[in-house]
Structure 1
Amino acid sequence: MQLDPTNLLDSLEEHMMKTEEALGSSFSAIRTGKASPALVEHVTVEYYGTPTRLKEIAGITAPEPRLLVIQPWDTTAVSAIEKALLASNIGITPMSDGRTLKLPIPELSQERRQALAKQAKSECEEAKVALRNIRREGNEAAKKAQKDGIYTEDELKKMLDDIQKLTDRYITTLDKLLAAKEKELMTV
């Protein structure tokens, strides 16, 4: 990642925002007791020899709180989609009528809820590591800019302090996302 010292904080914030968005999208794929298209839309299907995301070859809807319906635009893809869903680790067996696939979402057991909460915590920790790496790269860029004469020593100290504050703000945001996801998972 190439960082410009003149707008260092802006580019760091942009990278941190992307990390937050990535965590939010991975949280949406973690199954709760409700049906959500995000649960399966990233499943990769072998479609005419090409790995394709499910959402690109089928409509995914949740007509009921505990049911997902997958309607392929090409009915010849039904068996390939079924095979991909079985191979993915979502833990739900699809029911096919030849034209559509239905995924009944079972009630989560307490053990499964705890395992999913642990998975969410792990993904949050990975996002925090990514934020710390962004912070480290920003600190290195600021120190290099000071060496090159772009920043004075006082400006460097202020920049390092601002980078730390930005990192702390995003880590707090990630912790809030995790707390909300854990609450959602543990609510029966």
Structure 2
Amino acid sequence: MINDIKAEAEKKMQNSLESLHSAFKKIRTGRANPAILDSVMVSYYGQPTPLKQVASVNTEDNRTLTVTPWEKNLVPTIEKAIMTSDLGLNPATSGDVIRVPMPMLTEETRKEMVKQAKADAEHGRVSIRNARRDANSTIKELLKEKEITEDDERRGEDEIQKLTDRYIAEVEKALKSKEEDLMAV
């Protein structure tokens, strides 16, 4: 019974961590990384479709991404989608290849992005703690209904706390890595 609660809590914590990693992908560094364009949606035959499903995205060099649509008529649509995304990128088309240069980051912009990364990390930590709280309250309910003993309750809460500590440490590690990435010139 406690193992089921622990497994459910771990699943929620893992989802929080994955959500944090996808939020970090949207925070661009000065280097070109195809994952930056993962959130861009393109109108493909009237349907919003992820960019990576209608084109290949590659790194040309450290500062430039190339987007090669699989259908030539999508070039202006993809270019517009990249421009209107909230990423602050200005694509340039040459034939049927779209080049997306990564603008240089100023010190001020870097600090703003570090702030954003810290806010995302805090959101992740809160989400993990909420999973802990839910698991602990479920364990307390079981104790109240006399389905488990007090020793089981204590053991369960300790296991949930160890799980929480492990995932919080993962968040800290991811934040530290993102900060170093952002502040590297």
Aligned partner (choices 39, 53, 58) of residue 56 of structure 1: 53
TM-score by length of 1: 0.92
Superposition map of 1:134-149 within 5 A: 134-149=131-146
Structure 1 residue 38 and structure 2 residue 35: aligned? Answer: yes
| CA contact 1:75–1:98 (8 Å) conserved in 2 | no
Displacement over 3 Å in runs of 4+: none
Aligned partner (choices 109, 117, 121) of residue 124 of structure 1: 121
Matched letter for residue 109 of structure 1: T
| CA contact 1:68–1:102 (8 Å) conserved in 2 | yes
Match of 1:77 in 2: 74
- For 2:111 and 2:53, how far apart are their aligned partners in 1? 32
- For 2:174 and 2:119, how far apart are their aligned partners in 1? 13
Provide the aligned C-alpha RMSD in A.
Answer: 1.4
- Structure 2: any 5+ residue segments left out of the alignment? none
Structure 1 residue 14 and structure 2 residue 4: aligned? Answer: no
- For 2:115 and 2:3, how far apart are their aligned partners in 1? 40
Matched letter for residue 53 of structure 2: E
- For 1:149 and 1:98, how far apart are their aligned partners in 2? 71
The offset of 1:60, in angstroms, is 0.2
Match of 1:156 in 2: 153
Match of 2:85 in 1: 88
Aligned partner (choices 124, 128, 133) of residue 130 of structure 2: 133
The offset of 1:5, in angstroms, is 3.7
TM-score by length of 2: 0.94
Structure 1 residue 183 and structure 2 residue 177: aligned? Answer: no
The offset of 1:65, in angstroms, is 0.9
* Number of positions where the alignment pairs a residue of Structure 1 with one of Structure 2: 185
Match of 1:25 in 2: 22
Matched letter for residue 99 of structure 2: K
- Structure 1: any 5+ residue segments left out of the alignment? none
Match of 1:111 in 2: 108
- For 2:151 and 2:47, how far apart are their aligned partners in 1? 55
The offset of 1:136, in angstroms, is 1.3
Matched letter for residue 53 of structure 1: P
| CA contact 2:83–2:90 (8 Å) conserved in 1 | yes
